Amino acid sequence: MNAPDPLSPAAPFDADDHLPCVLVVDDEVRSQEAMRRTLEEDFQVLTASDAAAARALLERHRVAVILCDQRMPGQSGVDFLKDVRARWPEVVRVVISGYADSEDIIAGVNEAGIYQYVLKPWVPEHLLGTVRSAVEASQLQQGLHRLEIDLRAGTPALRARLGEKLREARSVFDFERIVRAPGSPLDGVCTMAERVARHDLSVLVLGESGTGKELMARAIHYASPRASRPFVVENCAAIPDTLLESELFGHKRGAFTGAVEDHVGLIQRADGGTLFLDEVGETSPLFQVKLLRVLQEGELRPVGSTRTVPVDVRIIAATHRQLEDEVRAGRFREDLYYRLAGVTLQMPPLRQRPGDIAPIAERVLADVCRELGLGPVRFDDDARAVLMGYPWPGNIRELRNEIARALALRGPGADAALLRATDFSTKLLQGQTGRATAGTPADALSAGAAQGTLQDRLDAIEAMLLREVMLRHRWNKTRAAAELGLSRVGLRAKLLRFGLESRAEAAASDKKH
């Protein structure tokens, strides 16, 4: 075996094994053994039947990834992973569940910061690919941290290596890499974000869960003069205020029960770089006062310390709430709001970006296939129609989960290179019938038909009619045009006009005909 590279990141493996360590937490012994058999060739696998046993293992072993069942006796998987995030934030967290409960998924992402949500029955190749990606993410994070420490020593070779990593990160998180169709509503948001990135202003990113707020924050950071410094993330809704204060500001040994050593807070770790505060609207008024002081004074006081520490960070905050409404209701401090909202960006939900669904789905399909070790797979026309007809209340995160599920659960004898409409969940197939439910495109169009000028109202009605006909004919333009008494060219023009199809999709469709 070759000698280890002294510049490579510290691998998150246990001291007695050179394989990355994975902890499986599941109250069903058969599930534990099945996951052990799937993973043991590539990883050191530890197992626990409940949260208490898992904590004991985390105290003794250096774990890279946790695979945790959601529904267990006693503490649930999400609640346990919230504790893990507070005590062992470097451990990558994955939830495995037999229940596709949207509330569990949202809670897991927002509160426990999970990396992936894997549905049972899982497919070995999918699980193995997920864990490999999670371990890689853990190692990259540790590697960047070590490079940052070594860079401070001024090692020229490491400085060049960090520069290479920085160029790679900038290319990955470039605004042009944010997937969207030409003419997308997201274009204006990206243009504004790119302009403000160069200036040291605080940014407030608003939008529903799953719309890509953190991705936008990373793009701003890597387009800014702070790009070579840390980008640090904290979800303010994930842990209670008392722990959040310690997590962000740090604490001194003995400051409270369990504080057995000094802890450097995330704000200090982000010094010189960017701190992304996700779901900042969930913080309490008391914590808001403490955060405001840090932003105003440019210094913080760790819990239990009598000395202040100067810090220089750029704040990018995000929330699914409309903070102006929260200010008027007295739930969010007005002075903190104006500190955070130097520039406000509104991320539109996927249902308001129908033209973006196809290119995003194509990118997600390619990414998931790569993670699962599959060859190229494409959507058939009916599958595209189903994707276009669903309102996507969970936005891009839900889209990714559905595509991963469809690939993993395809029946025997399925065409390996094709993903069909019948591979999707019943929820998606029912969602493309065109029923107007709260928050769907049809609902938004109906609202548009009830306001504005006469022409605005007529346009909204026409767009709603076009969408209903296209859904009924599963996006078949020839049949839709015949029903509406239009030519294909005329129908295409109307679809483009109302944002129901992108120019790229229209061009691709024309090539087929």
Consecutive H or E run containing 493: helix 488-497
Q: Quote the tokens at residue 392.
A: 């996507």
Q: How confident is the model at residue 264 (pLDDT cuts 50, 70, 90)?
A: confident
- Interaxial angle between packed helices 381-389 and 454-472, expressed in degrees from 0 to 180 and rounded to the nearest 10: 140
Dist CA 127 CA 123 (whole Å): 6
Q: Residue 45: what are its φ and ψ, rounded to 5°?
A: -115, 125
pLDDT of residue 159: 62
Q: Quote the tokens at residue 278.
A: 């996700």
**Homologous superfamily of the 173-346 domain (CATH):** P-loop containing nucleotide triphosphate hydrolases (3.40.50.300)
Dist CA 133 CA 303 (whole Å): 36
pLDDT one-digit tens code per residue, 293-320: 999 999 998 888 888 889 999 999 999 9
Higher pLDDT, 423 or 162: 423
Dist CA 334 CA 413 (whole Å): 60
| Chain center to CA of 492 | 33
Q: Quick check: 271 and 226 in contact, CB under 8 A?
A: no
User: Rounded mean pLDDT of 5-27?
Assistant: 60
CB atoms within 10 A of CB 453: 8
Dist CA 23 CA 33 (whole Å): 12
pLDDT of residue 320: 94
Q: Is the pLDDT of residue 509 over 70?
A: no
For domain 359-432, which CATH number applies: 1.10.10.10, 3.40.50.10310, 3.30.300.90, 1.10.8.60? 1.10.8.60
Q: Quote the tokens at residue 350.
A: 């996927």
Q: Quick check: 252 and 302 in contact, CB under 8 A?
A: yes
First vs last C-alpha separation in the chain: 57
The CA-CA-CA angle for residues 200, 205, 208, to 5°, reads 170
User: Rounded mean pLDDT of 66-88?
Assistant: 86
Q: Residue 309: what are its φ and ψ, rounded to 5°?
A: -120, 125
Where do the structural domains in the chain lie, given as residue ranges?
21-140, 173-346, 359-432, 433-513
User: Rounded mean pLDDT of 55-78?
Assistant: 88
pLDDT one-digit tens code per residue, 450-492: 456 777 677 777 877 887 787 777 778 888 888 888 888 888 8
Instruction: State the sign of the Cα–Cα–Cα–Cα dihedral 275, 278, 279, 282.
Output: negative
Q: Residue 503: what are its φ and ψ, rounded to 5°?
A: -65, -35
For domain 21-140, which CATH number applies: 2.20.25.90, 3.20.20.210, 3.40.50.2300, 3.90.1150.10? 3.40.50.2300
Q: Is the pLDDT of residue 11 over 60?
A: no
User: Rounded mean pLDDT of 254-267?
Assistant: 81
Q: How confident is the model at residue 9 (pLDDT cuts 50, 70, 90)?
A: very low
Give 476's DSSP letter.
Answer: -
Q: Quick check: 451 and 405 in contact, CB under 8 A?
A: no
Q: Is the pLDDT of residue 107 over 90?
A: no
